[in-house]
Amino acid sequence: MSNPFLNLNYETAIESLGSDYFDEVTAADFPLHILRFRNDQLLPILGLDPKQVTDEDFTTAFGKFHCVRPFLALCYHGYQFNEYNPYLGDGRGFLYGQVRGIDGKLYDFGTKGSGRTPYSRTADGRLTLKGGVREVLAAEALHRLGVRTSRCLSMVETGDSLWRGDEPSPTRSSVMVRFSQSHIRFGTFERLYFLRRNDLIKKLLDHVIQYYYPELHFQTGRMPVPESEQYALFYAELVKRVAELVAQWMAAGFCHGVLNTDNMSITGESFDYGPYGFIPTYKPQFTAAYFDYSGLYSYGNQPFICHLNLERLQQPLAAVIDKKEMDAALAKFGEYYNASYQQLMLNRLGFDRLPDSEAEELLQLTIKLLSETQVGYHDFFLELRKQFSQDWREDSSLIFKDVEPAEIIAPWRQLYHHLLQTLSPADMEEIRLRLRRYNPEQSLLRIIIEEVWESIATDDNWQPFYELVNRIQDPN
């Protein structure tokens, strides 16, 4: 086989767990296979040269679904809007395969929109083309903003006409392949607890530690850690990863939209983007999902929800891990979150390190400024990047000189000027470079996505989409 995707060295990590965790499925036969997106940035991680991979290679593997291993629809349950749902599982996707990257990490190829499975219920197992476009854009934008996220490897238009209540129908269809560390979810463990299979919980936890937390096997100095201690260390590390992840969302101004436990990855990675949204202005009550009537998964509620989901995960994990040890680990969530959020916001403001008191004051004044002026969240950081000047160190009146009202900007301007006064020209240049790194020029507000989609839906014009992806991926 000359197709490089079919020649990869696929591993049997999930498959080796046995059929208690998945069902073997087949992919749908689609009437059309048009490659609409290929993520050449990911190919080197797989040891592939993008120049040696053709569009036909993508569509053969990830549209027509030629394969070298069985496709696995993973089993899970989950809390959805505070209600436990035991009727979940991969209903429109499956695990295509698992591959070791050149960095030594194991990665999943997971499909979305690839057809019906035993968990589809009354759904058609398909993904709308607009849904695929939105997930490609979300993943690339979050990656550029430094969020630990899954990314899309490919998206193929598949030629089916779909009927959806939230899109003008009939609408076009697609299938995409998600590239991520793992598709094991909090809900994967919750299902096993529901089935009263403590033995399978321990087996899955051993698997997760082996493949995704191998560092827990050894202490500093490479001394082996007893197996009984590894479990509590795992939960403590997961708490830290999730706290840092939600801090990344908050600093990026991102609202996931549907933080059910089946959308929470056991590796602390962000994935599964549906009705997400980037906040236009700083409003904690901003809600991305039109069906989230109570605002449960609002932007400002995300730290609380992630903490709650970690607490819910304790129920199945208690079959293996002592509850007091998990409580002690979860108690540090706020500490991890606050430290990470503060650092990320400092970076967006141009600083690497500040004394704690000054860092806290700058963060408070920034949030106050964003909240009271309702200036665009992305626009504020972009203008800071564009307007920043060496002259700001000498003359405070030059700092955001056109921002009104003066009584709101004045305290922020005064503090920012104070922080710059002790810096050398070289330090000022470091701030300028940091502002460029952490504040990309391209935002991904809903209106921008809709403009791109309108070109596709009306004229089948994909050029605005590709131009937007290129701007998002631009490291400058």
Catalytic residues: 262
Whole-angstrom CA distances from 53 to 8, 38, 46, 64, 149 are 13, 10, 12, 16, 24
CB 432 within 8 A of CB 420: no
407, two tokens: 């009584």
**Helix runs in 355-462, H state only:** 356-373, 377-387, 406-421, 425-438, 446-459
SS3 state of residue 462: coil
Report the alpha-carbon distance of residue 5 to residue 15 in Å, rounded: 19
* Bridge partners for 178 per DSSP: 110, 152
Handedness of CA 352, 353, 356, 358 (dihedral sign): negative
Pick from 373, 375, 415: nearest CA to 396 = 415
Could you report how far apart the first and last alpha carbons of the chain are, in Å?
A: 39
Residue appearing with tokens 């296979």: 33
Pick from 99, 336, 72: nearest CA to 184 = 72
Residue appearing with tokens 């470079």: 433
CB 103 within 8 A of CB 117: no
- For residues 288-304, one letter each, b for 16 or more C-beta atoms within 10 angstroms of the residue's C-beta and e for the rest, the string is bbeebeeeebbbbbbbe
Residue appearing with tokens 């791109």: 452
Report the alpha-carbon distance of residue 303 to residue 310 in Å, rounded: 11
CB 86 within 8 A of CB 194: yes
**387: how many CB neighbours lie within 10 A of its CB?**
15
Whole-angstrom CA distances from 52 to 4, 6, 49 are 8, 14, 5
* Bridge partners for 162 per DSSP: 171
- If 0-12 CB within 10 Å is exposed, 13-18 middle and 19+ buried, where does residue 70 land? middle
CB 258 within 8 A of CB 274: yes
Backbone angles phi, psi at 149, to 5 degrees: -140, 155
Pick from 447, 442, 465, 451: nearest CA to 35 = 465
